[in-house]
């Protein structure tokens, strides 16, 4: 398992626990415990990646959750399995907010699918792929439309 994948896996475990306790348990304490328990193979660079991932998700959570609701309208957020909900948060954070040179969109999607397959239920991978694929296609369409509009107004 790559160190980045391990970092994402520990982030998922931490977010899962935090979400399970309705965000009332101290996230920093959860993260410290999980890093100590499962992160012995991580160097400082990958621990920093883990911290950046969690911080970014928490910072953008109010933006990320409505995107999940919009992309999966038949699944109310609180009815999505906790693992799947947090895999989506990781995937969406990396897809929408992370540096695309550091984490290309297709890598963000593939990593989220792998997390779902290894930690979620039998259909989690397909569900994650469907939601993240929808967001990716919409975002790509919006970017293409904006570029076309920009060319029209400049040309």
Could you read off the pLDDT of 47-57 as tens digits, one per residue?
Answer: 999 999 999 99
Residue the block writes with tokens 């935090």: 18
Q: Tell me the C-alpha distance between 102 and 45, whole Å.
A: 13
In degrees and rounded to multiples of 5, residue 121 shows phi and psi of -85, -175
- Other Cβ atoms less than 10 A from the Cβ of 43: the count is 10
The pTM of this model reads: 0.91
Reduced to 3 states (helix: H, G, I; strand: E, B; else coil), residue 97 is coil
Q: What pLDDT was estimated at residue 32?
A: 96
And the tokens for 131?
């939601």
Query: Total domain count for the chain?
Result: 1
On the 0-12 / 13-18 / 19+ scale of CB atoms within 10 A, 10 is buried
CATH code of the domain containing 40: 1.10.940.10
* pLDDT band at 148; cut points 50, 70, 90: low
List, for residues 29-39, the tens digit of each pLDDT value: 999 999 999 99
List, for residues 65-79, the tens digit of each pLDDT value: 999 999 999 999 999
Measured between alpha carbons, how far is residue 34 from residues 6, 19, 31, 61 in Å? 11, 15, 5, 21
User: Containing domain of residue 140, as a range?
Assistant: 3-154
Q: Are 116 and 87 in contact (CB under 8 A)?
A: yes
């Amino acid at each position: 398992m790559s160190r980045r994948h391990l970092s994402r896996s520990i982030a998922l475990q931490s977010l899962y626990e935090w979400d399970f306790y309705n965000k009332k348990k101290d996230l920093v304490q959860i993260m410290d415990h999980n890093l100590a328990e499962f992160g012995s193979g991580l160097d400082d660079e990958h621990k920093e990646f883990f911290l950046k991932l969690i911080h970014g998700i928490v910072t953008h959570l109010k933006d990320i959750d409505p995107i999940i609701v919009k992309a999966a309208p038949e699944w109310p957020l609180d009815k999505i399995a906790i693992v799947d909900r947090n895999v989506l948060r990781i995937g969406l954070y990396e897809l929408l907010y992370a540096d695309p040179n550091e984490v290309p969109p297709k890598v963000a999607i593939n990593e989220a699918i792998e997390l779902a397959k290894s930690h979620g239920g039998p259909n989690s991978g397909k569900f994650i792929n469907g939601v993240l694929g929808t967001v990716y296609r919409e975002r790509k369409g919006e970017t293409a439309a904006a570029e076309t509009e920009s060319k029209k107004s400049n040309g």
